[in-house]
């Protein structure tokens, strides 16, 4: 089966993933994308979500907190702010972040950065979803 | 004859200094490990960003995408003709001294870059990092440009740009301007005239004091973060420079920092952050024929990618600088400790000699006295 190299790098952990995979299913700002080997060149922005990586018959999940994806026929490069395997996700922290972001958004103060709070909310939500933790 | 007490005191003070330098060495050593760790985990990310940048920009070449940060050299020249903005330099140095030539190396590079006047050889032309450093090329391109109307800061800069480090530091506060063109007369220029076209963002207290003393216009400075940089500061700087760049206040942003090579060596490096000049990506585009698909579209991708790229670069530079600073301090302090050790050895020898001379003297006196009694 044809494979494509997937590389994921984050600013503070370096290269967190580098493996030949069969297929990557991820969510970009424009919707779900399935990337197979020999994909056309593509640049897009990713949303915070859990990507599905298919390799050698199995499927693994990997959380990315948004970032960039560049696809070339041989290689997928993802520049993520953070990338975690489901096992590494800190549920308590995500829950706390979720609450904090929600409170901040609920206040509707003019001095808060709405974009940032919304992004934090989305990140926390995606993290919790990966773990299957009920939200709210 | 040297006083025994004096020597003893001297030995003691050298030993005290040795204790301090030794402690600083150890502190730097432990922090250095953390800094190197942080740097090493950041390097792949920066490299990948750069790779993507190179591929995308290579493809941009020759195509008409309207984006404020991406220009061809011709556009750059056209902008300058309209009477354009200032040059911005970001200088990353340390908060504290006692790190050998760490800070002065950066300052030297900074002055070399700031005062570059198109005369020195463009050694960076063939280097691998070609697409990261085109300040000099930008300068060369803009050199002959006469903006319509009043003298731009750029030109003022050029007039005195022949000045060197020494001249900059020896500037006269009230100096009258002479209108000569020769090098010797160029010294007469008031530095304020030449500084006008330059803005600085400094990281590290040392950098701030150094440039403030010389009258540079520092628009923002960051203190207390040089050893442990954080991404949010890089982001802040990025936002600031992008805003100023977009408004046309500045036309060129160059980053100057110490690049970490190994635990015993680092070298100053300068990187052009803005504008992104597509001409310089010629090499990369040569072997790239396929077009990218951009989702949703080029402009929004670039709007997001470029700030990220710049912030990443600044953050990377901060990490490089932190690791370099600590390794420099480590080296400086372990050298100082060794020197102190040697000095103590020599002083001890001297002390013993003097002591022995004293004893010999006394014996001579006693023997002499005894002989006289006979």
In this complex, do A41 and B296 lie within 8 Å of one another by their Cβ atoms? no
A-chain CB neighbours of B56 within 8 Å are 43
Is the Cβ of A106 closer than 8 Å to some Cβ of chain B?
Answer: no
In this complex, do B45 and A14 lie within 8 Å of one another by their Cβ atoms? yes
In this complex, do A79 and B45 lie within 8 Å of one another by their Cβ atoms? yes
Same domain, A77 and A94: no
The tens digit of pLDDT for each residue in A27-37 reads 888 888 899 98
The tens digit of pLDDT for each residue in B180-218 reads 333 333 333 334 445 667 788 888 888 888 888 877 788
Q: Give the pairing type, strands B217-222 and B198-203.
A: parallel
pLDDT of residue B341: 93
Reply yes or no on whether the pLDDT at B151 is more than 60: no
Question: Are B100 and B334 spatial neighbours (Cβ–Cβ below 8 Å)?
Answer: no
Helix spans in B187-297 (H)? 191-195, 205-213, 231-246, 282-286
Q: What letter does residue B126 receive in the DSSP assignment? A: G
Is the Cβ of A18 closer than 8 Å to some Cβ of chain B?
Answer: no
- Helix or strand run (H / E) with residue A18: strand A14-21
- The b-or-e profile of B195-222 (16+ CB within 10 A means b, else e) is bbbbbbbbbbbbbbebbeebbbeebebb
pLDDT of residue B166: 35
Q: Average pLDDT in the B48-60 region? A: 76
A-chain CB neighbours of B294 within 8 Å are 42-44
The span from the CA of A135 to the CA of B279, in Å, is 51
Same domain, A11 and A51: yes
Q: What letter does residue B309 receive in the DSSP assignment? A: H
The span from the CA of A48 to the CA of A30, in Å, is 13
- Which domains occur in chain B, in start order? 65-328 (3.40.1380.10)
A-chain CB neighbours of B292 within 8 Å are 41-43
In this complex, do A28 and B295 lie within 8 Å of one another by their Cβ atoms? yes
Reply yes or no on whether the pLDDT at B177 is more than 50: no
Please name the member of A11, A14, A70 whose beta carbon is closest to the beta carbon of B52. Answer: A70
Is the model more confident about B365 or about A94?
Answer: B365
In the stretch 57-96 of chain A, residues with CB closer than 8 A to chain B read: 68, 70, 72, 77, 79
Domains of chain A: total? 2
In this complex, do A68 and B304 lie within 8 Å of one another by their Cβ atoms? yes
Q: What letter does residue B125 receive in the DSSP assignment? A: G
> Is residue A95 in some structural domain?
yes
Reply yes or no on whether the pLDDT at B63 is more than 70: no
Reply yes or no on whether the pLDDT at B121 is more than 70: no
The span from the CA of A71 to the CA of A36, in Å, is 10
Cβ within 8 Å of residue A104, ≥6 positions away: A112, A117
User: pTM, whole model, 2 decimals?
Assistant: 0.76
Distance set, CA B262 to CA B94, B244, B267, B326 (Å): 18, 35, 10, 11
Please name the member of A7, A30, A72 whose beta carbon is closest to the beta carbon of B295. Answer: A30
Distance set, CA B357 to CA B7, B12, B344, B360, B365 (Å): 14, 21, 20, 5, 12
Same domain, A49 and A29: yes
Nearest-CA distance from B94 to chain A in Å? 21
Domain that includes residue A47, residue range = 4-86
In this complex, do A29 and B295 lie within 8 Å of one another by their Cβ atoms? yes
The tens digit of pLDDT for each residue in B323-372 reads 888 888 888 899 999 999 999 999 999 999 999 999 999 999 999 999 99
- Helix or strand run (H / E) with residue B44: helix B4-60
In this complex, do B52 and A40 lie within 8 Å of one another by their Cβ atoms? no
The tens digit of pLDDT for each residue in B259-316 reads 888 877 788 887 777 777 766 665 555 555 667 788 777 778 888 888 888 888 888 8
The tens digit of pLDDT for each residue in A27-74 reads 888 888 899 988 888 888 888 888 888 888 888 888 888 888 889 888
Q: Average pLDDT in the B149-169 region? A: 37
End-to-end CA distance of chain A: 42
Is the Cβ of A12 closer than 8 Å to some Cβ of chain B?
Answer: yes
Same domain, A65 and A95: no
Closest Cα in chain B to A32: B295
Same domain, A40 and A96: no
A–B CB contacts, 8 A cutoff, strictly below: 69
Question: Are A68 and A48 spatial neighbours (Cβ–Cβ below 8 Å)?
Answer: no
Same domain, A99 and A39: no
> Is residue A54 in some structural domain?
yes
Same domain, A97 and A124: yes
Is the Cβ of A10 closer than 8 Å to some Cβ of chain B?
Answer: yes
The span from the CA of B207 to the CA of B221, in Å, is 9
Helix spans in B179-297 (H)? 183-186, 191-195, 205-213, 231-246, 282-286
Please name the member of A15, A40, A43 whose beta carbon is closest to the beta carbon of B301. Answer: A43
> Is residue A16 in some structural domain?
yes
> Is residue A39 in some structural domain?
yes
CATH number at residue A53: 2.60.15.10
Same domain, A32 and A71: yes
Q: Given pLDDT bands bounded at 50, 70 and 90, which one contains residue B109?
A: confident
Closest Cα in chain A to B303: A45
Please name the member of B231, B291, B296 whose beta carbon is closest to the beta carbon of A30. Answer: B296
Same domain, A55 and A27: yes
The span from the CA of A122 to the CA of A119, in Å, is 5
B-chain CB neighbours of A13 within 8 Å are 41
Question: Are B276 and B58 spatial neighbours (Cβ–Cβ below 8 Å)?
Answer: no
A-chain CB neighbours of B42 within 8 Å are 11-12, 14
Q: Give the pairing type, strands A4-10 and A75-80.
A: parallel
Same domain, A40 and A105: no
In this complex, do A77 and B51 lie within 8 Å of one another by their Cβ atoms? yes
In this complex, do A79 and B304 lie within 8 Å of one another by their Cβ atoms? no
Is the model more confident about B288 or about A75?
Answer: A75
Same domain, A52 and A96: no
CATH number at residue A124: 1.20.5.440
> Is residue A136 in some structural domain?
no
pLDDT of residue A102: 81
Structure-block tokens of residue B151: 């003298």
| Cα angle for residues B186, B191, B194 (degrees, 5° grid) | 85
> Is residue A56 in some structural domain?
yes
Reply yes or no on whether the pLDDT at B14 is more than 90: yes
Average pLDDT along chain B: 73
The span from the CA of B282 to the CA of B63, in Å, is 13
B-chain CB neighbours of A10 within 8 Å are 45
Same domain, A20 and A57: yes
Closest Cα in chain B to A71: B292
Query: Among all chains, which residue has been given the structure tokens 């056209």?
Result: B78
pLDDT of residue B161: 39
């Amino acid at each position: 089966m044809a494979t494509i190299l997937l590389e994921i790098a984050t600013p503070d952990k370096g290269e967190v993933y580098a493996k030949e995979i069969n297929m990557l299913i991820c969510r970009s700002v424009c919707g779900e994308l399935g990337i197979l080997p020999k994909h056309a060149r593509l640049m897009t922005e990713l949303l915070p979500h859990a990507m599905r990586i298919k390799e050698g018959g199995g499927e693994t999940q990997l959380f990315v907190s948004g970032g960039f994806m560049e696809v070339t026929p041989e290689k997928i490069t993802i520049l993520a702010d953070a990338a975690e395997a489901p096992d590494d996700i800190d549920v308590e922290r995500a829950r706390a972040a979720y609450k904090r972001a929600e409170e901040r958004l609920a206040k509707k103060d003019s001095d808060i950065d709405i974009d940032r709070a919304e992004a934090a909310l989305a990140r926390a939500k995606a993290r919790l979803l990966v773990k299957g933790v009920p939200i709210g | 004859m040297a006083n025994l007490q004096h020597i003893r005191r001297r030995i003691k003070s050298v030993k005290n200094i040795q204790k301090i330098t030794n402690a600083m060495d150890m502190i730097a050593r432990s922090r250095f490990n953390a800094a190197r760790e942080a740097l090493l985990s950041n390097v792949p990310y920066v490299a990948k960003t750069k790779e993507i940048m190179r591929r995308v920009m290579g493809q941009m070449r020759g195509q008409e995408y309207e984006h404020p940060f991406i220009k061809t050299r011709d556009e750059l020249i056209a902008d300058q003709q309209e009477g354009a903005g200032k040059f911005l330099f970001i200088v990353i140095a340390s908060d504290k001294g006692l790190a050998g030539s760490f800070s002065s190396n950066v300052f030297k590079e900074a002055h070399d870059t700031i005062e570059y006047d198109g005369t020195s050889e463009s050694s960076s032309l063939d280097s691998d990092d070609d697409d990261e450093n085109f300040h000099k090329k930008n300068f060369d391109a803009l050199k002959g440009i006469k903006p319509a109307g009043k003298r731009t800061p750029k030109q003022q800069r050029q007039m005195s740009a022949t000045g060197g480090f020494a001249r900059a530091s020896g500037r006269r506060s009230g100096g009258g301007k002479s209108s000569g063109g020769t090098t010797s007369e160029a010294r007469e220029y008031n530095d304020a005239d030449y500084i006008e076209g330059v803005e600085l963002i400094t990281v590290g207290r040392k950098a701030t004091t150094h440039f403030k003393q010389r009258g540079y216009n520092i628009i923002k400075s960051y203190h207390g973060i040089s050893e442990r940089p954080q991404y949010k500061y890089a982001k802040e700087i990025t936002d600031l420079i992008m805003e100023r760049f977009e408004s046309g206040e500045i036309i060129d942003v160059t980053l100057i920092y110490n690049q970490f090579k190994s635990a015993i060596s680092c070298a100053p490096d300068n990187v052009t952050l803005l504008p992104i000049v597509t001409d310089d990506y010629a090499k990369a585009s040569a072997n790239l024929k396929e077009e990218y698909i951009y989702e949703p579209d080029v402009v929004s991708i670039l709007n997001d990618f470029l700030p990220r790229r710049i912030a990443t670069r600044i953050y990377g530079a901060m990490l490089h600088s932190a690791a370099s600073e600590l390794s420099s301090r480590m080296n400086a302090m372990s050298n100082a400790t060794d020197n102190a050790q040697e000095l103590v050895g020599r002083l001890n020898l001297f002390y013993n000699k003097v002591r022995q001379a004293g004893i010999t003297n006394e014996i001579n006196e006693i023997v002499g006295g005894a002989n006289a009694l006979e």
